[in-house]
């Protein structure tokens, strides 16, 4: 199974994209809704939660881990890769590669949680991939709680998104990385407020395409994970009232959520 974890429902956008691009590969998903959002936590706590999440997914039979949380990827990915022998994929590398290739003027914006932006990892990887680029980052701490609350199209959400994006519009970026897997749920709100000419990079889609490339090129990995008759499972550490509606919106179907402690 492919293990996926996130601090909440945002990682379900990654799970859905993997379902679409990698059919026949069962998933085991963990959304740590009891501790969301990770972006406001200390690096030590994010690393501890990520460690627990990975242990849980491996116990459920995962043979590959996808860190579907940008805050965890930017803070804990090095620790996880040094601690486990399993292949660990994060959402940052694929998004960086696409942004570096897509941008024409080299002015790239990144929005994410405080933990992701403060880590500076997107800037480091973008400048390594494309030394001539200029990176403009904006922390958006209110967006994850708004998504988790289900306020996707509320007037208040649109106003907050506009305020966060205003500094990036002034920088004349031509590419924007959604540096949080919750943000694709706000893409319809973000797109008109950042400008029609700005190319939006959805990290959930990019990590799914990256995984597909790996599976297509590695026969042994593909054989070890391909199990079309095995059902996917979706675990959460808490079940607040909006989560069922959000999960249904993301997957386009009813999803059975199993409560667990991590």
- Per domain, the residue ranges of the chain are 2-91+205-259, 93-203
The answer on pLDDT for 36 being more than 90 is no
Task: Enumerate the known binding-site residues.
Answer: 6-7, 38-39, 70-71, 181-182
Among the options 22, 133, 140, 180, which is catalytic?
180
The answer on pLDDT for 201 being more than 90 is yes
Model confidence over 38-78: pLDDT tens digits?
Answer: 888 999 999 999 999 999 999 999 999 999 998 899 899 99
CATH architecture, domain 2-91+205-259: 3-Layer(aba) Sandwich (3.40)
Distance (Å, whole) CA 74 – CA 93: 10
Q: Would 2-91+205-259 and 93-203 be classified into the same CATH topology?
A: yes
The answer on pLDDT for 8 being more than 90 is no
Provide the β-strand partners of residue 3: 28, 65
Distance (Å, whole) CA 55 – CA 93: 23
In what order do the strands lie in the sheet containing 134-139?
Answer: 134-139, 107-112, 175-178, 199-202
- 133 a catalytic residue: no
pTM value?
Answer: 0.89
Percent of the chain exceeding pLDDT 90 equals 83
What does the pLDDT read at residue 242? 85
Return the SS3 of 158: helix
Among 242, 149, 188, 30, smallest CA distance to 178 is for: 188
Provide the β-strand partners of residue 200: 176
Report the topology of domain 93-203.
Rossmann fold (3.40.50)
Across all residues in the chain, what is the average pLDDT? 94
Distance (Å, whole) CA 191 – CA 49: 32
What does the pLDDT read at residue 131? 95
Angle (CA) 169-16-43 rounded to 5° is 60
What does the pLDDT read at residue 199? 96
- 180 a catalytic residue: yes
Model confidence over 108-151: pLDDT tens digits?
Answer: 999 998 988 998 999 999 999 999 999 999 999 999 889 988 89
What does the pLDDT read at residue 92? 92
Contact 164, 137 (CB under 8 A): no
What does the pLDDT read at residue 248? 92
Among the options 22, 69, 133, 140, which is catalytic?
69
Task: Enumerate the known binding-site residues for substrate.
Answer: 6-7, 38-39, 70-71, 181-182
The answer on pLDDT for 10 being more than 90 is no
Residue 66 DSSP label: E
């Amino acid at each position: 199974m492919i293990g996926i974890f996130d601090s909440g429902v945002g990682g379900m956008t990654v799970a859905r994209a993997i379902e679409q691009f990698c059919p026949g590969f069962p998933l085991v998903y963990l959304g740590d809704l009891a501790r969301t959002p990770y972006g406001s936590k200390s690096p030590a706590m994010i690393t501890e939660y990520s460690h627990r999440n990975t242990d849980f997914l491996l116990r459920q039979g995962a043979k590959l881990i996808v860190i579907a949380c940008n805050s965890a990827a930017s803070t804990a990915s090095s620790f996880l890769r040094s601690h486990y022998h399993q292949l660990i994929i994060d959402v940052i590398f694929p998004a960086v590669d696409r942004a570096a290739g897509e941008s024409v003027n080299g002015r790239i914006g990144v929005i994410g949680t405080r933990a992701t932006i403060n880590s500076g990892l997107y800037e480091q990887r973008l400048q390594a991939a494309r030394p001539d680029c200029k990176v403009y980052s904006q922390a958006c701490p209110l967006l994850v709680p708004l998504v988790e609350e289900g306020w996707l199209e509320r007037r208040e959400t649109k106003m907050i998104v506009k305020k966060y994006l205003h500094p990036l519009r002034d920088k004349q970026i031509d590419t924007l990385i959604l540096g949080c897997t919750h943000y694709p749920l706000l893409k319809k709100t973000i797109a008109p407020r950042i400008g029609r000419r700005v190319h939006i990079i959805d990290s959930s889609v990019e990590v799914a395409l990256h995984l597909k490339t790996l599976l297509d090129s590695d026969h042994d990995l593909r054989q070890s994970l391909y199990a079309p008759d095995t059902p996917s499972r979706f675990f959460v550490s808490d079940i607040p009232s909006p989560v069922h509606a959000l999960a249904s919106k993301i997957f386009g179907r009813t999803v059975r959520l199993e409560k667990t402690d991590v």
